Structure 1
Amino acid sequence: MDTKKDQIVQIALKRFSHYGFNKTTMSEIAVDLNITKANLYYYYPDKNSLIKDVLIYISDDIVAKEYSILDQYDGDLLTVLFQLLELRAAYLKEYYVLHISENVEWIRGRGVGLVLEHMHYKEVEVMQELFKRAVARGEIALDNIDEAATSYMEVVKGLSLLRSVADVLSGMPNADNVDKILESQKRVTNFIFSNKVIVNTSL
């Protein structure tokens, strides 16, 4: 992404994260950038294309930080899983309005759904890598790492949606729900891995 587009994305992200995708206009973003709307349309022909780049920008930032956490793995899977959940919760709290917006049908119907699917696959890839390292370390035993990573992420994402569905339907964000989401995700993570899949590493 070139410097100008990067600047546009960051300015648009500020407005999107405050007002949501639907209530933000390209004219408002152009004013924030101190450029004409025509100039903005030169870089982004429509709001949909800008939304896609904003989502990709957030996703790339999260994934880079996730791999930094993953690289700290030293044989304590639960600790790393909790750190990854806490990282995503921090982003979710900061961009909770976007989380609500991305689950509204109008946004998925404009091609953004494909971007969201790609973001999900990147999340799964992080988990696959972590599980591979845990298996190689002898901390866990998994017959199918890819399936385990996919299933775990589906559970985590499902809990996130379950806890925020009322906000999605009402359109009224309540970022305090993120704490409840994180609590549920940690509880189910502990249930899945603690004393169940983790093997005796002292042998």
Structure 2
Amino acid sequence: MQTETKDGMREKILEAALKRFTHYGASKTTMNEIADDLHCSKASLYYYFPDKNAMHFAVLQKIGEVYFQEMEKETRQITTAAEALMNIIAIRQNFVQKFCRLELFKILQDASLAFHDELVKAKEREVAIHAAIINAGIERGEFHVADPNETARLLAEALMGLRYSVLDHVRSDSSFTDEEFELVIKKQQLLATIFIKGLKQP
């Protein structure tokens, strides 16, 4: 462990935490278990993270970057803008299914100011992705939109809103059922379909 660089050790901790959180759930994982997986002391974890919430936040940042990179890749390989907008929903669906045990809603409830700032940045990044796709649709003659950036914001915010309105409330265990998740996706797909039809109107 002594020869490990600081950045390298931090990355190993995040990988171990992600593995545990994904399999068992963040709330059911202890710092001791992560330390045991890494064959290090719990004190070593606290050198890099002041508490488990900070580690949880860092894990979400790590997988969030992968999520956005995948979405941004979609904007660089557009066949049709309509298809790309639907593919974004599929990317989100696969991501949430894979990382559903990371308990995003729980950390939202306990969010610090720093985490709130990251959420704002994430929202703006998601809006920018939708804007890039809509602008591509305009350039191809597929969409007819007067204000692509504002239209992208409206669509992105409407899709985000469905995640909360369909679930009604967040349970104490910060979980949701497969049926609830599928309902969110179906409603997002329906909304996007209606929205796309509107964008195609001359």
User: Shorter-chain TM-score: which interval?
Assistant: 0.7 to 0.9
Gapped runs of 5+ residues in structure 1?
Answer: none
Equivalence for 1:30:
35
1:87 aligns with 2:96: no
Give deviations 1:78-105, integer Å, cap 9, x for gaps.
Answer: 21111110111111112223233244x2
Runs of 4+ in structure 1 deviating by more than 6 angstroms, as ranges, are none
| Rounded Cα–Cα distance in structure 2 between residues aligned with 1:115 and 1:10 | 20
More divergent stretch after superposition (16-25 vs 1-10): 16-25
- Contact map agreement 1:48 1:112 (CA 8 A) in 2: no
How far is 1:115 from its partner?
2.1
SS in 1 for 2:88: helix
| Rounded Cα–Cα distance in structure 1 between residues aligned with 2:65 and 2:138 | 26
1:64-83 map, 5 Å: 64-74=69-79, 76-83=80-87
Equivalence for 1:134:
137
Equivalence for 1:163:
166
Structure number with higher relative contact order (C-alpha < 8 Å, ≥ 6 residues apart): 1
Going from structure 1 to structure 2, the CA distance change for 1:72 and 1:119 (only over 3 Å counts) comes to same
Q: Given residue 184 of structure 1, which amino acid in structure 2 is its aligned partner?
A: K
Which TM-score applies when normalising by structure 2? 0.84
Q: Given residue 175 of structure 1, which amino acid in structure 2 is its aligned partner?
A: D
1:79-158 map, 5 Å: 79-97=83-101, 98-103=103-108, 105-106=109-110, 108-109=111-112, 111-158=114-161
Give deviations 1:127-184, integer Å, cap 9, x for gaps.
Answer: 1211221122221122222221221111111111223344x22424323422221111
Aligned-residue identity in percent: 25
- Contact map agreement 1:163 1:181 (CA 8 A) in 2: yes
Equivalence for 1:189:
192
Which TM-score applies when normalising by structure 1? 0.84
Gapped runs of 5+ residues in structure 2?
Answer: 1-5
1:5-44 map, 5 Å: 5-44=10-49
| Rounded Cα–Cα distance in structure 1 between residues aligned with 2:195 and 2:134 | 13
- Contact map agreement 1:67 1:126 (CA 8 A) in 2: yes
How far is 1:199 from its partner?
4.5
- Contact map agreement 2:81 2:136 (CA 8 A) in 1: no
- Contact map agreement 1:66 1:126 (CA 8 A) in 2: yes
- Contact map agreement 1:138 1:199 (CA 8 A) in 2: no
